[in-house]
Structure 1
Amino acid sequence: MQRLHPALRFIVVIFAVFLAGGVALESAGTTGAGEGIARMHPPGYVGQERCVACHEPQGRDWGASSHAKSLQVASPSTLAGFGGAAAVGGDFVAFMRQASALARLEDASGKKVEFPTAFTIGVFPLQQYLVPFGNGRYQALPFAWDSRPASEGGQRWFSLYPEAGIKPGDALHWTSRNQTWNSMCADCHSTGLRKNYDIATRTYNTTWSDINVACEACHGPGASHVAWAESGRPATIPLKGLAPEGSGARGAYWGDFDERGIRRFVGPARHQEVDRCAPCHARRRALTDAWASGQPLLDSHSPALLDDTLYFADGQFRDEVFEVGSFLQSRMGHAGVVCTDCHSAHGGGLKADGNAVCAQCHDASRFDTSSHHRHTQGSEAARCVTCHMPGRTYMGVHVRHDHSFRLPAPARAAALGSPDPCLTCHSERGANWSEEALNRWGGGGHRTGSKFAEALDAGRKRLPGAQRLLVEAVSDPGNLPIARATALSLLARFPGAPALAALRKGLADSEPLVRLGAVRGLAPYPPATLSELLFPVVRDPVRAVRIEAARLLASANPAERSEPFRSALKEWVEAEQLASERPESTLNLGVLWAELGDAKKAEATLRSAIEEDPSFTAGAITLADLYRAEGRNSEAERVLRKSATSAPEAGDVRYALALTLIRQGRRAEARVELERAAALSPEESRFAYAYGLSLWEDGDRARAMAVLREASRRHPGDRLLLEALVSFARESGRAEEAADHARSLAQLAPENPDAGTERRPGDRQIAGPEGR
């Protein structure tokens, strides 16, 4: 078996799902038409026409919804932005030629080409457009139509990516993989979709049951329900042939206002309804294309946790996360609220206007008053969403609201670098002013913010005491499952006895999301530990949990290959193959084949990942590492140099190239590449560490100390940087500086009496791809 570096053993890629709002669909559009696309009902699906035939009122509501306009065939009646010729920055022209909508812009080669518009995505507040790109692939144009009224700045074309630097070959370029409709948008904008990608021919034969988000997207396949209706509606068929609804449990109700002025939900939990919306309203990755509405989310998808690229440390959304990840942090979600308590089930809009939607459960006489919100009644500042659901604008014009429903905590936000809704209107005042004002109004004690915030912040930054804070966050029952799961996953950065005890307990938690976080937190542990803890987990009833456990076990190369392990690993492979057009998934499979001992299959798979995208540096680095394991360093160098040419701004490939050169004894060349890596990726502390070490060993000690000091300033919680500074300062006769760094080192793990001592000089080595 080829032993790859640990960091290359397990890569979980969670793809973004792009949603755009809209409003109604012509019946002609339901057939769909386009190269490589066809309408085909998967087993059990019947199509929205059969549903609407018996459910006309619901059909009318749905027909006016954004879901009904999620995807439409381009036609004069569906195109919002092709009323006449339009140019944006000289790079884009949209125009009609007879009945066809055409877009003229640069393709991947930089040549101006006319593309026919095949489909529209959404309607309001923007409409996007899909053009055919060969082999059944459809790409989203980088320009969209702003559907808002002209008085609000709308009725114009605008660039979705106005920032400079997105060039052909970049994953975000409109011709590249992150803008491919089939893999990035399709399964949430249509119903019963099957992507049908053929990796051998690199073609799509995508099918859908309904072109848009129709009845069976939420209610599940309807064939059994139709059979129940047509056979006289026998009572012997449970749930009328449909998946459990989740929101209409017998005996469930909202009680009267309690002493707080808030209604309480009485009845069984309604998890099914959130799971019904979550596949398309969460950042997640599909594990199977056969998922149907109503099944638990983690049986069909692997969700993102509170990752630092998606959320601030206190849980406020940073990127576009599509609501559910935020909602799972909320008190309301914990108290029994579900999506349709606020939103119309079929129309999708709010059940009431303005603050009235909140007043369904929050007594307006107490909360919708100036004595509560302290602003002019009826003003924008007096809206509940202004303080409790602050908005962020995505895709140029689309304002989305944070569904974590949190209380403003200005001091906490300032300490963590998170947004403060008070400063949206009072930016000149500052956090101290807004904190003091809220305290005067009597909101001090309960506005402490998310209880997990400091732990996640410390874990992300590797701050002193981070392990202790994370373990405490995991153990605190006041933290909801998604926060505890995130804390467990961050414990992967701090392996040790306290972390392992928390992870062991997390694996037995009743919440599948917590178990998933615990599995992710076990990634750095040795094979014996993984075998002990994860063999029981491959029998977990939830797919997302068991397949990640099986993947980690595979990296441990267990002697025991039980049927549950083989079955769960097969499910993991199938999930990767479902995304086989993505080089990330091809990479994951290549790493697995290497660890299972099939070097030939691993090499072919990794080469395929690079061919899919030459700028995909992770594929090149992993292939080079495979060659390193086989002693083929010259081939590794060729792969890495080619990758560096394709991705000149990538520091990781320069770092890997430097390691390959060091193994060949070419230290001077390696130092040049380490300097480039550190300059290109200052966020990667190990690059600066390796560069500083190289400078020191080559005799440039003053420069080495300067590089390491600057890196430690940027990464104050990095142990290796501090260890090197302690050692080098002592060797340079700078006892006082060495003592300062030693004290900083000791603060990282105050429970460890040896934490303030550096490694022996003979233990120092340039870090490999595993990071340390």
Structure 2
Amino acid sequence: MRRSTRSRPQSVWRVLAVVFAKALLATQAPAQEDGYVGSDACAGCHTDAAEAWEGSHHALAWTEATPENILADFDGTEFVLANMRVRFRIGEDGTRFASVTERGGVTTEYPVQAVVGVAPLQQYLFETEPGRLQSFDVVWDTEKGDWFHLYPGTNPPPEDAFHWSGPYKTWNARCATCHATGFAANYDMATRSYASEQVEIGVGCEACHGPGARHAEWAEQWQTTQAAPPENHGFPRDLSDPAAFLDTCGGCHSRREAYFDGTPPAGTSYHDAYNLSLLRPGLYWPDGQIRDEVYVLGSFLQSKMQDKGVTCSNCHDPHSAELIAEGNAVCTTCHSAAGNPDFPSLPLEVFDSPEHHHHPEGSTGAQCRSCHMPEQVYMGNDWRADHSFRIPRPDLSAETGAPDACTSCHTERKPDWAASEIASWFPDSTHRGPHYGQVLARAVNSPEPVTDDLAALATEEAQPGIVRATAIWLMAQEGTALDAATLERLLADPDPLVRASALDAGRSAEQPEILLLIASMLDDPSRTVRIAAAKAMLGAPIAHLPGAMSVQLQQAQGEWQAALSSRLDFPETHLQLGGMALSTRRFPAAAQAFAEVTRLDPQHVDAWVMRARLAAALEDVDAVREILEAATAANPEAPALQGMMSQIDAQSP
């Protein structure tokens, strides 16, 4: 472990390293497990599925750097953005190279180590240290046939953590799990290096179905034995179960925090493998529309379709990942006068007609997705649809600040015009009543607490769980304490998101009845809830727990430690460790954790501030000055750091 700015005792950190090493054994990914056979072994029998999968975005999610896989023009092309320049060339053996001149003038040439994706853009991976892969920010537009920068407005310098070579762009840590089958990052905290491995690159058959050895063994013997198949045909998960699709697809198609070092053990349910991001400001608009790159699950969980049992495979072919039909035909498989017997609550009406969409047939406005799945662009040119399948509400735009589908197309118009048009089309609509977005918007934007509104939303069982969980989270941000009766009700909710948010909201409570309610959730069926309970118990004023509950606390704390140990290459993890250490008054450990945050992310001003405060408490003014000098060098315009440096200067003789 490299030392921080000043030499400090390492004993606490060594103890933590041992704890994390033990915990990591509990989070090992299935790359270490037996049972994988590889996609080639599946293709021999499942020819139709293999043919559909081959060439799909899943199959091409991560490929080798062969001339056939690389779509970009490396033959002497060049890309320039301000004072950053990239020259591309092809070596004599066909290897593709990028010679990168960074801001500051340093030039390094990298061979392309691997390829990511196929359309509408293709990205390339460089190995900057043995085993460490970084995703380069200059990518190839496969539609326009040209290079572009993913973040032209920022184009960060190499010393910035958000530079392509920084920790937020490390492929092993941030991306590889969802682009591979049976992946393990295998990060070594002591050497800060990776020994990553995977069963195969690309999203293969076993990425969704799980290890196939039992299935292959049964299939091989079946020709002679005619034996009945084992449960789920030998796979760890029954993909005919709608919930399994959310577990299988949602794991990668969501904004979340992972609990395992890479691919979760086969058959793990979503809330045992991940902590899903809520509808937080910056990630989603207050009405729940996608804003930042949150992928699909968080929006889909808001939809009535999900509530009625619709799954990914109702619209997408699971092997090609393509839509099951063209255009509106995807939607009219259910939304038509004929309906769909699998979903008996559907209104039997004609929707694909001008009488409903009020646009010329064949136009963009006549497409169901234009109104009900508005798109956002990510990664420069990748348009992705909101999967909450919402009814347009331009009448709420002024209140929520969220975009509306109508004026996203009719850019010359205002939302109030769109609201008037919709009201004239559907004068008797029942879809213009109160919306949860109004409450969430007030909570985010109002200077005054909206506690009562949030509490009512949190306990309104007809609302989606992710919405109610967000309301509870916002109550906690306002500093609102849940009373015991409300907390008990929320902890009995069937949705793990609601239960976990309720526990987070109760973390600062000290009343015995609240603490006992929190402790009662330490054996919850969901890992997300158990970890939330362990966090809520940290530093709780309890001298002793009953024997069984004490064991449950240790086990939940172990799961929390294991989750953290699988992400020790994340600045966010060390920020949590620093907070944990402060909560338990382990100040040297806190200083070490915040030092690791600033090593990984020198622009993390809050971590620098905590380091300086801890140095002031534990060491002397020279130690504080040394930290602040490094901090202001990395963040010369940060007011908080400038203010602290001014205070130190004022103390100097």
Q: Which residue in 2 is equivalent to 1:430?
A: 414
Q: Which residue in 2 is equivalent to 1:87?
A: 78
Q: What is the one-letter code of the residue matched to 1:317?
A: I
The 1:278/1:449 distance shift into structure 2, 3 A limit, reads: farther
Q: Which residue in 2 is equivalent to 1:386?
A: 370
Q: Which residue in 2 is equivalent to 1:493?
A: 477
Aligned mate of 1:276, from 248, 255, 264: 248
Q: What is the one-letter code of the residue matched to 2:299?
A: S
Q: What is the one-letter code of the residue matched to 2:566?
A: L
Q: Deviations over 1:578-622 (max 9, x none)?
A: 111112212322332444454444433433333333333333233
Aligned mate of 1:241, from 229, 234, 248: 234
Please tell me whether residue 317 in structure 1 is matched to residue 290 in structure 2: yes
The 1:421/1:137 distance shift into structure 2, 3 A limit, reads: same
Q: Deviations over 1:263-297 (max 9, x none)?
A: xxxxxxx2111111011000001101351454321
The offset of 1:418, in angstroms, is 0.6
Please tell me whether residue 447 in structure 1 is matched to residue 427 in structure 2: no
Please tell me whether residue 49 in structure 1 is matched to residue 40 in structure 2: yes
Q: Deviations over 1:481-527 (max 9, x none)?
A: 00001101111123346666544422221111111221222344348
Q: What is the one-letter code of the residue matched to 1:287?
A: Y
Q: Deviations over 1:635-661 (max 9, x none)?
A: 345423421321224345456667xx4
The offset of 1:528, in angstroms, is 5.5
Q: Which residue in 2 is equivalent to 1:226?
A: 216
- What are the equivalent positions in structure 2 for 1:79-478 lying under 5 Å apart? 79-89=70-80, 91-98=85-92, 99-107=94-102, 110-148=105-143, 154-164=144-154, 166-232=156-222, 234-235=227-228, 237-247=230-240, 270-289=242-261, 291-292=264-265, 294-363=267-336, 366-442=350-426, 445-448=429-432, 451-464=435-448, 466-478=450-462
The 1:243/1:383 distance shift into structure 2, 3 A limit, reads: same
Q: What is the one-letter code of the residue matched to 1:276?
A: T
Residues 133 and 139, structure 1, Cα contact 8 Å, conserved in 2: yes
Range moving further from structure 2, 138-147 or 287-296: 287-296
Count of residue pairs the alignment pairs up = 601
Range moving further from structure 2, 467-476 or 487-496: 487-496
Distance 2:511 2:651 in 1: 33
User: 3-state DSSP class of the match of 1:67?
Assistant: coil
Distance 1:102 1:79 in 2: 12
Distance 1:508 1:442 in 2: 39
Name stretches of at least 5 consecutive residues in structure 2 with no aligned partner.
Answer: 1-29, 338-348
Distance 2:104 2:615 in 1: 32
Distance 1:631 1:117 in 2: 47
Residues 135 and 202, structure 1, Cα contact 8 Å, conserved in 2: no
Question: 1 or 2 for the larger relative contact order (CA 8 Å, sep ≥6)?
Answer: 2
The 1:450/1:354 distance shift into structure 2, 3 A limit, reads: farther
Q: Which residue in 2 is equivalent to 1:34?
A: none
The 1:278/1:95 distance shift into structure 2, 3 A limit, reads: same
> Alpha carbon RMSD of aligned pairs, Å?
2.6
User: 3-state DSSP class of the match of 2:36?
Assistant: coil
Please tell me whether residue 588 in structure 1 is matched to residue 576 in structure 2: yes
The offset of 1:190, in angstroms, is 0.5
The 1:534/1:92 distance shift into structure 2, 3 A limit, reads: same
Residues 527 and 556, structure 1, Cα contact 8 Å, conserved in 2: no
The offset of 1:572, in angstroms, is 0.9
User: 3-state DSSP class of the match of 2:59?
Assistant: helix
Distance 2:42 2:188 in 1: 33
The 1:195/1:449 distance shift into structure 2, 3 A limit, reads: farther
Residues 286 and 301, structure 1, Cα contact 8 Å, conserved in 2: yes
The offset of 1:665, in angstroms, is 11
The 1:615/1:131 distance shift into structure 2, 3 A limit, reads: same
Q: What is the one-letter code of the residue matched to 2:238?
A: E
The offset of 1:537, in angstroms, is 1.5
The offset of 1:220, in angstroms, is 1.2
Range moving further from structure 2, 595-604 or 60-69: 595-604
Distance 1:665 1:566 in 2: 46
Q: Deviations over 1:671-690 (max 9, x none)?
A: xxxxxxxxxxxxxxxxxxxx
Q: What is the one-letter code of the residue matched to 2:163?
A: H
Per the normalisation by structure 2, the TM-score is 0.86
Q: What is the one-letter code of the residue matched to 2:308?
A: A
The 1:432/1:461 distance shift into structure 2, 3 A limit, reads: closer
Distance 2:372 2:282 in 1: 22
Range moving further from structure 2, 586-595 or 71-80: 586-595
Please identify the structure whose Cα radius of gyration is greater: 1
Distance 2:644 2:300 in 1: 40
Range moving further from structure 2, 399-408 or 549-558: 549-558
Per the normalisation by structure 1, the TM-score is 0.73
Residues 293 and 378, structure 2, Cα contact 8 Å, conserved in 1: yes
Q: What is the one-letter code of the residue matched to 2:139?
A: A
Distance 1:53 1:371 in 2: 50
User: 3-state DSSP class of the match of 1:169?
Assistant: coil
The offset of 1:345, in angstroms, is 0.9
Q: Deviations over 1:180-212 (max 9, x none)?
A: 111111000001000001111111011001111
Please tell me whether residue 635 in structure 1 is matched to residue 607 in structure 2: no
Residues 557 and 595, structure 1, Cα contact 8 Å, conserved in 2: no
The 1:41/1:54 distance shift into structure 2, 3 A limit, reads: farther
Distance 1:590 1:536 in 2: 27
Distance 1:486 1:244 in 2: 30
The offset of 1:422, in angstroms, is 0.7
* Aligned residues with identical type, % of pairs: 34
Q: What is the one-letter code of the residue matched to 1:224?
A: R
The offset of 1:449, in angstroms, is 7.0
